[in-house]
Amino acid sequence: RKEVEQDPGPFNVPEGATVAFNCTYSNSASQSFFWYRQDCRKEPKLLMSVYSSGNEDGRFTAQLNRASQYISLLIRDSKLSDSATYLCVVRNYGQNFVFGPGTRLSVLP
């Protein structure tokens, strides 16, 4: 089993839709959690960190369930510019970052 798993995708949604991405991780010692965004043929960029209490940044909401080892990302009111691959990332304290395989999102006009 891979250490970080994500919805296989791709997700094709119309503009304005709400879309949710799911991620599970296997290492219960993981302490830091992130969502990265990667545009086609570009480097990954940090979208947001994920905190235990859940956190929101504009149209983006991230949730963490440590008991279930589950992370989610919700995007409301999707824009064409949200089209990208979304990578779930976990990290143990002081250790390397472990990336999931990513879920590709296409927002359609």
Select 19 or 98, whichever has its Cβ closest to another protein.
Answer: 98
- Identified binder of another protein from the candidate list 47, 64, 87, 105, rule CB under 8 A: 87
Strands (E), the chain: 4-6, 11-14, 19-25, 32-38, 44-50, 55-57, 60-65, 70-75, 84-91, 97-99, 103-108
Give burial (CB, 10 Å; 0-12/13-18/19+) of 105. Answer: buried
Q: Which letter does DSSP use for residue 80 in this model?
A: G
Check residue 96 for interaction with another protein (CB under 8 A).
Answer: yes
Check residue 66 for interaction with another protein (CB under 8 A).
Answer: no
Peptide bond into 109 cis (omega under 30): no
Q: How far is the CB of 22 from another protein (least distance, A)?
A: 15
Q: How far is the CB of 34 from another protein (least distance, A)?
A: 8
- Which part of the chain contacts another protein (CB under 8 A), choosing from 13-21, 52-60, 68-76, 86-94? 86-94
| Binding site residues, another protein, CB under 8 A | 4, 32, 34, 41-46, 49, 87, 91, 93-102
